[in-house]
Amino acid sequence: MPARTAAISKIGRVCVTVSDTERALAFYAGALGFEKVVDVPMGEGQRWVELAIPTGHGNEETTIALAPPPPGRPAGGSQTGICLDTDDAHAARAALEAAGADVDVEVSLMGEPVPPMFWVRDPDGNSLIVVQVTG
């Protein structure tokens, strides 16, 4: 076994850059149903906000952080690599579409072993994948 080079204990949060925290909160808390667990000032008129899946619905340890981009860089437009699990991709897609979210036209069905999935984009164009998981 290789020597451990860093004292990493878990994936604590993933960060998504946003241009408008309130608009992003409406998407992540409203459309996705996450709950705000951190909201602190971060410099001049900016905030660091973290959202989590509500307690009892999965991994409450990893959060999504909404933060301003680094100086001189635009917010959003990122393919985040974040995968959100659901037990019904079709129902999740329909609910997000009804909530006004930017979702793919249909759920991607590639066949086994690839699960049904679709992309959803936040108001800044950050893409997340919703994946149907079983058992």
CATH number at 116 reads 3.10.180.10
Q: Is the pLDDT of residue 1 over 90?
A: no
Helix, strand or coil, per DSSP, at residue 125: coil
Mean predicted confidence (pLDDT) in 94-105: 96
- CA 88, CA 100: separation in Å to the nearest integer? 19
Q: Is residue 62 included in any domain, yes or no?
A: yes
Q: Is residue 38 included in any domain, yes or no?
A: yes
Q: Is residue 43 included in any domain, yes or no?
A: yes
Q: Is residue 17 included in any domain, yes or no?
A: yes
Helix, strand or coil, per DSSP, at residue 80: strand
Q: Please state the domain count of the chain.
A: 1
Mean predicted confidence (pLDDT) in 75-88: 93
Question: What pLDDT, on a 0 to 100 scale, did the predictor assign at position 4?
Answer: 61
Task: Give the residue carrying structure tokens 């037990």.
Answer: 87
Least confident of 4-8, 40-44, 119-123: 4-8
pLDDT-derived band at 11, boundaries 50, 70, 90? confident
Residue 54's domain comprises 13-132
